[in-house]
Amino acid sequence: MKIAVASDHAGLDLKTHIIVYLESNGYDFTDLGTHSQESVDYPDFAFRLCAGIQNGQFDRGVLICGTGIGMSMAANRFVGVRAALCTHVTLAELARKHNNANVLALGGRMTGIELARKIMDVFLATDFLGDRHSSRVSKLDSFHKTNKDSV
């Protein structure tokens, strides 16, 4: 499994801990920045990571901003990216089992390091259940609405 990790300045501290976790657990990962405390725009980092998910370079992504909200909003603009903002282990479990989430969004100012590690553990280890959930996820992945379309 190839994993990409990215954050803005508000997620940098948690990203640093997540990287130590990924390294010490032998995961194959790429750090797409940011690398300093200088203020940056979270969409730039979300878009970079999600382009890599869309083109098959990465299987999973972890995006961290202050709340996780901006990163998840940015990521979910990409068809085929299913980002879940998780603040609880059960959310990570169900995001994988039911939604086949391929991007985990975390709030660096909201979620402590230990909880973030547990959320990561579950997110990376849990399989999609498929079955009745497959057609729902397919609907997500095949839908791209513009303001000219009707539902």
Query: Least distance (Å) from ligand RB5 to the CB of residue 24?
Result: 26
Task: Give 3 or 71: the residue with its C-beta nearer to ligand RB5.
Answer: 71
Helix (H) or strand (E) holding 71: helix 69-75
- Of positions 4, 18, 29, 67, contacts ligand RB5 by CB under 6 A: 67
- From the list 3, 4, 5, 8, which residue makes contact with ligand RB5 (rule: CB under 6 A)? 8
Catalytic residue numbers? 65, 98
What angle do helix axes 113-125 and 89-97 make, rounded to 10 degrees? 20
Provide the minimum distance between the beta carbon of 112 and ligand RB5 in the complex, in angstroms, as a whole number.
16
Q: Name the token pair of 125.
A: 């280890």
* Residue that the structure tokens 């992504």 belong to: 61
Separation CA 96–CA 112 (nearest Å):
21
> What residues make contact with ligand RB5 under the rule CB under 6 A?
8, 10, 42, 65-67, 69-70
